[in-house]
């Protein structure tokens, strides 16, 4: 642990050099992989996985297996995918990811049980009473967590429940069940798999701001009430044009002090296209900033990128004129960002 806390100066000093002298070669031997670099650091290196790409793209599949020791389903564990009709579950795509992870010695982060997006229309369009919705939510969480019991080691139990100003987001759950739905969701998930680590998860909550203050207060309150909450997830969707949250380490450290784990769960660093060398350098710095905070913290256990290649990244489809947000190009060549992650892990050894 001492090593982890002493890396700051070393990493800060060496970072500029590491990023600018980025070795161009793709991993040539096992020792050159991200998962090898992460070994012994106490931080797992993960990626979101696109199940169509995993099935159809052999190069993609080989990189997921070689470079990462943790995987998250990009979409197939979301409510609309897993329970498309009420009470009818489609486990197959998610099970394939679990099997792939097992075969490759990887752990699985579960994403996500309660969210306001990517819900099936039967859930959002039918007029359920609050009592019915509570039962539906309970059944969904219990069934899903039970199905993956012992196979998914962490769950994003609730995703994106706060607004930027720290008030609770207006969702079907808040409107019908009141704020207590959050504690209930954690209790139900815990009953279904007492060993799984249960997380809050959001974006724009990496640095210290109104949103992360709200999470801090909520975590403290739930812990004091004995609610089984174990982790604070920061998605880490950054953009070079916005700069990077300078207070990220202070934020991670205050959650450390509460006794919960932390994780960076969906890191990508987008840019306004076209790509140039300066933006790529800055991008490497962004990836590394979050990873340094994780390595410096006591209980930061994983760092996951939201897709590792531009070939399948969600960014261009959602953020107009932006892209190149991942550590590998469309051609699966490593970018300076990939080398920044690699070197930041190496320096922490």
- The residues annotated with a catalytic role in the active site are 160, 266
- CA dist 45 and 156 (Å) reads 17
**Shortest distance, position 181 Cβ to ligand XIL, whole Å:** 18
Place of tokens 């998962």: 35
Is 219 within 8 Å of 258 (Cβ atoms)?
A: yes
**Shortest distance, position 348 Cβ to ligand XIL, whole Å:** 27
Number of residues lying near ligand XIL (CB under 6 A): 6
Q: Is 310 in the site for ligand XIL (CB under 6 A)?
A: no
Is 107 within 8 Å of 76 (Cβ atoms)?
A: no
Q: Is 75 in the site for ligand XIL (CB under 6 A)?
A: yes
Site string for ligand XIL, 43-72 (x = CB under 6 A): ------------------------------
Residue (19 or 189) nearer to ligand XIL, CB: 189
The Cβ-side half-sphere exposure at 246, using a 13 Å CA radius, reads 1
**Shortest distance, position 74 Cβ to ligand XIL, whole Å:** 5
Q: Which of residues 267-296 bind ligand XIL (CB under 6 A)?
A: none
**Shortest distance, position 159 Cβ to ligand XIL, whole Å:** 5
Q: Which of residues 243-272 bind ligand XIL (CB under 6 A)?
A: 266
197: closest CA among 162, 232, 164? 232
What are the start-end ranges of the H helices in the chain?
Answer: 2-20, 34-38, 51-56, 58-67, 79-82, 92-103, 121-125, 130-147, 172-177, 181-192, 210-224, 248-258, 277-296, 315-318, 336-347
Q: Is 314 in the site for ligand XIL (CB under 6 A)?
A: yes
| Beta strands 261-272 and 237-239, pairing class | parallel
Q: Which of residues 186-245 bind ligand XIL (CB under 6 A)?
A: 235
CB-based closest residue to ligand XIL = 314
Helix, strand, coil percent content, the chain, rounded in steps of 5: 45, 20, 35
- CA dist 100 and 106 (Å) reads 8
Residue (121 or 224) nearer to ligand XIL, CB: 121
- CA dist 158 and 320 (Å) reads 27
* Residue in 159, 262, 283, 288 binding ligand XIL, rule: CB under 6 A: 159
**Shortest distance, position 10 Cβ to ligand XIL, whole Å:** 32
Binding positions for ligand XIL, rule: CB under 6 A: 74-75, 159, 235, 266, 314
């Amino acid at each position: 642990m001492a090593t982890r806390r002493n890396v700051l100066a070393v990493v800060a000093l060496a970072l500029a050099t590491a990023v600018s002298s980025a070795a161009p070669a793709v991993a040539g031997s096992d020792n050159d992989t991200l998962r090898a670099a992460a070994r012994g650091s106490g931080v797992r290196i993960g990626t979101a996985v696109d199940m169509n790409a995993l099935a159809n793209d052999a190069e993609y599949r080989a990189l997921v297996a070689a470079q990462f020791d943790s995987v998250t389903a990009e979409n197939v564990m979301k409510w609309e995918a897993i329970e498309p009709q009420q009470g009818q579950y489609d486990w197959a795509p998610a099970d394939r990811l679990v099997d792939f992870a097992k075969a490759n010695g990887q752990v699985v982060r579960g994403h996500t049980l309660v969210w306001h997006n990517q819900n099936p229309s039967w859930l959002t369009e039918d007029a359920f009473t609050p009592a019915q919705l509570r039962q539906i939510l309970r059944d969904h969480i219990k069934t899903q967590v039970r199905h993956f019991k012992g196979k998914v080691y962490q769950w994003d139990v609730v995703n994106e429940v706060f607004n930027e100003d720290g008030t609770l987001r207006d969702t079907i759950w808040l409107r019908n069940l009141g704020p207590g739905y959050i504690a209930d969701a954690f209790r139900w998930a815990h009953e279904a798999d007492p060993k799984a680590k249960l997380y809050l998860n959001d974006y724009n909550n990496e640095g210290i701001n109104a949103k992360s203050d709200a999470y801090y207060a909520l975590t403290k309150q739930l812990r004091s009430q004995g609610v089984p909450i174990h982790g604070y997830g920061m998605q880490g969707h950054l953009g070079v044009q916005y700069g990077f949250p300078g207070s990220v380490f202070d934020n991670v450290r205050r959650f450390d002090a509460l006794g919960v784990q932390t994780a960076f769960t969906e890191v990508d660093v987008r840019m306004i296209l076209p790509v140039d060398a300066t933006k790529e350098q800055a991008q490497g710095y962004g990836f590394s900033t979050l990873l340094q905070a994780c390595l410096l913290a006591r209980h930061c256990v994983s760092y996951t990128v939201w897709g590792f290649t531009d070939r399948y990244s969600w960014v261009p489809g959602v953020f107009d004129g932006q892209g190149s947000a991942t550590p590998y190009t469309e051609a699966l060549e490593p970018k300076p960002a990939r080398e920044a992650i690699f070197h930041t892990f190496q320096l922490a050894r």
